[in-house]
Amino acid sequence: MTTSRSFLSRLRSAAEMLEGAQSAAASVEAGRRPSPRALRQLGLSPEAFDGMRLR
Cα separation, 53 vs 17, whole angstroms: 23
Predicted pLDDT of residue 52: 76
Summarised one tens digit per residue, pLDDT across range 1-55 is: 456 779 889 999 999 999 999 999 999 999 899 999 999 999 989 888 887 776 6
Predicted pLDDT of residue 1: 47
In a domain, 53, yes or no: no
In a domain, 1, yes or no: no
Cα separation, 45 vs 32, whole angstroms: 17
In a domain, 54, yes or no: no
Q: How far is residue 10 CA from its own chain's centroid? A: 15
What pTM was computed for the model?
A: 0.75
Q: Residue 22: phi, psi to the nearest 5? A: -65, -45
In a domain, 36, yes or no: yes
In a domain, 26, yes or no: yes
In a domain, 37, yes or no: yes
Summarised one tens digit per residue, pLDDT across range 28-40 is: 999 899 999 999 9
Count of C-beta atoms within a 10 Å radius of residue 28: 16
Count of domains forming the chain: 1
